[in-house]
Amino acid sequence: MSRRRIDRELIRQAIIEEAAYWDATDNSAEMAQETNWLKFEWTPREDRCDRCAGQMQSFPIDLPLSGGRVVLRQVTRYVCQTPGCGQTKLVPAVAALAGEIEALVKRILPAEVTTAIPSPWPQIAQVRQDDPEYKIGAPEHP
């Protein structure tokens, strides 16, 4: 351990003198001559929490919209990893798209429509084994 004594009053006095110098100095002439200014444009990062600025982890999810009438498959959802925060959010482009789809479905289809909208993805058939259609198309297992 060092035995040097730090003179805190000397440091405090040096800071006060430095501040007084810069308060009394006018450097606007030098600033006017400078032509290359750094322009900083702040943009939020998708993987940072809006609440605590902590790191967020991404998870792929299926996002049901309009009561399950439309499903966006494998969209990215972020979850904050800061203990006690747990904020969640979608990728901004996906959130905007989801809002537009919700508005479009509400405008096109009335709320009381209950018919299923056909999906391009293969559906899992849910039939009983004693149905005749099941027995016709099912392969025989020993």
Tens digit of each residue's pLDDT (9 = 90 or more) over 54-104: 889 998 999 888 878 788 889 999 999 999 888 999 888 889 999 998 888
CATH number of the domain to which 102 belongs: 3.10.20
Which residue do the tokens 């600033």 mark? 31
Q: How many distinct structural domains can be found in the chain?
A: 1
| Domain carrying residue 52 | 46-110
Question: Residue 57, SS3?
Answer: strand
pLDDT tens digits for 12-57? 999 999 999 988 988 877 777 777 777 777 777 778 888 888 889 9
Residues 6+ apart with CB under 8 A from 63: 71, 72, 75, 77, 90, 94, 98
Q: Is residue 117 domain-resident?
A: no
Q: Is residue 123 domain-resident?
A: no
Contact 61, 87 (CB under 8 A): no
